[in-house]
């Protein structure tokens, strides 16, 4: 196949949601319909003794939540589909934000009973900022929900995007009968069986008395609802969806495999193939002859038996070929990858080539950091992979002096993943870990013990904000660092960071030192 054909059959997307909306369950069922797995795992069910494919870390299985982005690829109906299942919990939102830089579209999962929740709004803001096309899947129709029209109005208002239903539910909760698929004019009946997969019945003429035979008295309400839908919502405009202005809506129940195939069939037809990506120097077109890509994630111990690290690289242009020479722009060094991998969560297989839209795993011995650009030689820099200023800070101390080496290695590798941020005090040399939420400290402690055989303890540290500082005036920078030496630290890349105790202290520093620039993300 030509590179143009390969690009056009790629669909790389993220699934995002508020915790417990059914995101990981939906991912499992998409993999099931795609033939990638044969029995879908349950995230929180003891009835199925198989964990979710995308939740491959031990702590994820124990807690029933996703704490790291998983990458899964499969072939479906002539398309190559790459799914990135992201953490829903707000304590891990940075991982999700970085993942959104590596996808061409997004599916947002919303719990039909709860509607839009705060984390969903934040994720939609990131999609809007990047003009990423969005599809909305309204989940859990097998449970009682609010009126469908009211629910759609709420979603439109809170997510600030126009909606266009491409399917429509027939009742909900105990009376849920199924979904009418507006996109391909078929009727799908709901059966509450976790493993059943049945095709829908084609139904072009809704005025036909045959409809009553299938759904009885609900036929009248369905006709009335669809008449309203066609009156309120204009016909689906593909260009508006691709521009990020219009979100198609599908309904279903991920737990019961319902509405998933309809979603997948429509998704591969309407979702964008890999799109041009902006670098600091120029716009990179996927069809450019030369390979380029960037590291958006690093994961340590993806295979605990080998203590391996993997850098996740999004291919942006050209064709990646195993054992070719490539350039790491940050260091200027040339390298080759002898065992690049494709993913099914923690399962890996060595590949010979990859195309724009694909996610490739590069074995990493510490050479890569998040945000690295890799090319065939051109000096370009991909944008938009910041680390945000943390909100919680703690000193990290060794709880077992016999395991110092293991602890240092574990902390270094986990920080490289972007799990949290590491700062070293320039005053006393103590190491400080900064996170977005408390749960991250628990994950770090758990992973250090179970993956590195190292134990740590955290000591509280009252801190308001970590600010990266710079100045065009070297003397002003030296004076600031001397005056604030007790509050100065360096990040993992050796950059100067001012650790402000409070908003008042930060405001005072900003007003007193006019020549110092204070940054609240690591990209400046």
At 38 the pLDDT is 40
At 88 the pLDDT is 46
The pTM of the whole model exceeds 0.75:
yes
At 496 the pLDDT is 94
Last residue of a domain, one of 270, 299, 319: 270
At 100 the pLDDT is 84
For 197-238, write each residue's pLDDT tens digit. 555 677 777 788 888 888 888 889 999 999 999 999 988 999
Smallest Cα–Cα separation from 54: which of 78, 75, 32? 32
Any idea what the Cα angle at residue 40 is, between residues 214 and 119, rounded to 5°?
A: 90
Predicted confidence band of residue 384 (pLDDT cuts 50, 70, 90): low
Q: Is the pLDDT of residue 489 over 70?
A: yes
Last residue of a domain, one of 305, 340, 375: 375
Smallest Cα–Cα separation from 293: which of 353, 214, 240, 235? 353
At 87 the pLDDT is 63
- Domain with residue 407: its CATH number is 3.30.70.3280
Residues 140 and 227 occupy one common structural domain: yes
Q: Is the pLDDT of residue 108 over 90?
A: yes
Q: Is the pLDDT of residue 347 over 70?
A: no
In a domain, residue 87? The reply is no
Q: What is the mean pLDDT of residues 453-476?
A: 92
Q: Is the pLDDT of residue 486 over 80?
A: yes
Smallest Cα–Cα separation from 200: which of 264, 266, 139, 259? 259
pLDDT above 90 as % of the chain: 50
CB burial of 432-466 (b: ≥16 within 10 Å; e: otherwise) equals bbbbbbebbbbbbbbbbbebbebebebeebebbbb
The mean of the pLDDT values for the chain is 84
DSSP element (H, E) containing 71? strand 70-76
CA–CA gap between residue 12 and residue 71 (Å, rounded): 10
Which distant-in-sequence residues (6+ apart) come within 8 Å of 359 by Cβ? Answer: 12, 71, 73, 82, 84, 102, 312, 313, 314, 315, 342, 343
Residues 157 and 220 occupy one common structural domain: yes
Do 360 and 313 touch, CB atoms closer than 8 A? yes
At 309 the pLDDT is 79
Residues 340 and 397 occupy one common structural domain: no
At 442 the pLDDT is 86
Q: How many residues does the chain have?
A: 524
CA distances from 348 to 344, 351, 406, 485, 496 (A): 6, 9, 26, 47, 38
Strands (E), 357-476: 359-363, 373-375, 392-398, 421-425, 431-435, 456-460, 465-470
In a domain, residue 450? The reply is yes
Classify strands 201-202 and 186-189 as parallel, antiparallel or unpaired: antiparallel
For residue 252, the cross-strand partners are none
Residues 178 and 30 occupy one common structural domain: yes
Residues 297 and 242 occupy one common structural domain: no
- Domain with residue 187: its CATH number is 3.40.50.300
For 259-317, write each residue's pLDDT tens digit. 888 899 999 999 999 999 989 999 999 999 999 999 988 876 655 555 577 888 999 99
Lowest mean pLDDT among 27-41, 141-155, 443-457: 27-41
Kindly state the greatest CA–CA separation across the chain: 85
At 305 the pLDDT is 56
Q: How many CA atoms lie within 13 A of 328 on its CB side?
A: 19
Query: Which structural domain range is residue 410 located in?
Result: 392-519
Domain count, the chain: 3
In a domain, residue 439? The reply is yes
Predicted confidence band of residue 141 (pLDDT cuts 50, 70, 90): very high
CA–CA gap between residue 61 and residue 55 (Å, rounded): 6
CA–CA gap between residue 12 and residue 132 (Å, rounded): 12
3-state secondary structure 346-364: CEEEECCEECCCCEEEEEC
Q: Is the pLDDT of residue 182 over 50?
A: yes
For 38-84, write each residue's pLDDT tens digit. 443 333 333 333 444 444 445 444 544 443 456 788 889 999 999 88
CA distances from 67 to 54, 59, 311 (A): 10, 8, 17
């Amino acid at each position: 196949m030509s590179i143009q054909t390969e690009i056009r059959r790629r669909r790389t997307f993220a699934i995002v949601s508020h915790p417990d909306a059914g995101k990981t369950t939906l991912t499992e069922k998409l993999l099931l319909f795609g033939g990638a797995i044969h029995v879908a795992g349950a995230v929180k069910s003891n009835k199925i003794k198989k964990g979710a494919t995308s939740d491959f870390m031990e702590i994820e299985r124990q807690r029933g939540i996703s704490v790291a982005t998983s990458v899964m690829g499969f072939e479906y109906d002539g398309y190559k589909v790459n799914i990135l299942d992201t953490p829903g919990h707000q304590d891990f939102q940075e991982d999700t934000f970085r993942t959104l830089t590596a996808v061409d579209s997004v599916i947002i999962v919303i719990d039909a009973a709860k509607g839009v929740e705060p984390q969903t709004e934040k994720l939609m803001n990131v999609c809007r900022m990047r003009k990423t096309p969005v599809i909305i899947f309204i989940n859990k129709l097998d449970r009682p929900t609010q009126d469908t029209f009211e629910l759609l109005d709420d979603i439109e208002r809170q997510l600030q995007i126009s909606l266009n239903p491409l399917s429509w539910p027939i009742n909900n909760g105990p009376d849920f009968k199924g979904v009418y698929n507006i996109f391909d004019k078929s009727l799908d009946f709901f059966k509450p069986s976790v493993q059943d997969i049945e095709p829908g019945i084609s139904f072009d003429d809704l005025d036909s008395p045959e409809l009553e035979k299938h759904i009885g008295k609900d036929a009248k309400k369905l006709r009335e609802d669809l008449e309203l839908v066609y009156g309120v919502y204009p016909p689906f405009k593909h260009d508006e969806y691709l521009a990020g202005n219009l979100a198609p809506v599908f309904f279903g129940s991920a737990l019961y495999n319902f509405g998933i195939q309809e979603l997948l069939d429509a998704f591969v037809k309407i979702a964008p193939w890999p799109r041009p990506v902006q670098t600091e120097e120029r716009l990179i077109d996927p069809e450019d002859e030369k390979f380029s890509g960037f590291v958006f994630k690093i994961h340590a111990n993806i295979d605990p038996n080998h203590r391996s690290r993997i850098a996740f690289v999004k291919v942006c242009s050209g064709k990646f070929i195993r054992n070719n020479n490539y350039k790491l722009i940050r260091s200027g060094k040339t390298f080759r990858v002898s065992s690049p991998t494709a993913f099914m969560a923690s399962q890996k297989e060595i590949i010979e080539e990859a195309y724009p839209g694909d996610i490739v795993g590069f074995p990493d011995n510490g050479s890569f950091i998040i945000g690295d650009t890799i090319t065939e030689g051109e000096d370009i820099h991909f944008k938009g992979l910041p680390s945000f200023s943390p909100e919680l800070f703690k000193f990290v101390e060794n709880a077992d002096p016999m395991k110092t080496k293991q602890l240092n290695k574990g902390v270094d590798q986990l920080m490289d993943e972007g799990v949290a941020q590491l700062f070293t005090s320039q005053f006393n040399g103590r190491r400080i870990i900064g996170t977005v939420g408390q749960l991250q400290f628990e994950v770090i402690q758990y992973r250090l013990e179970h993956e590195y055989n190292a134990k740590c303890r955290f000591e509280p540290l009252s801190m308001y904000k970590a600010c990266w500082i710079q100045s065009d005036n070297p003397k002003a920078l030296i004076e600031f660092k001397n005056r604030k030496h007790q509050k100065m630290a360096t990040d993992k890349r050796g950059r100067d960071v001012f650790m402000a105790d409070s908003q008042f202290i930060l405001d005072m520093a900003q007003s007193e030192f006019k020549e110092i620039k204070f940054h609240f993300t690591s990209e400046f």
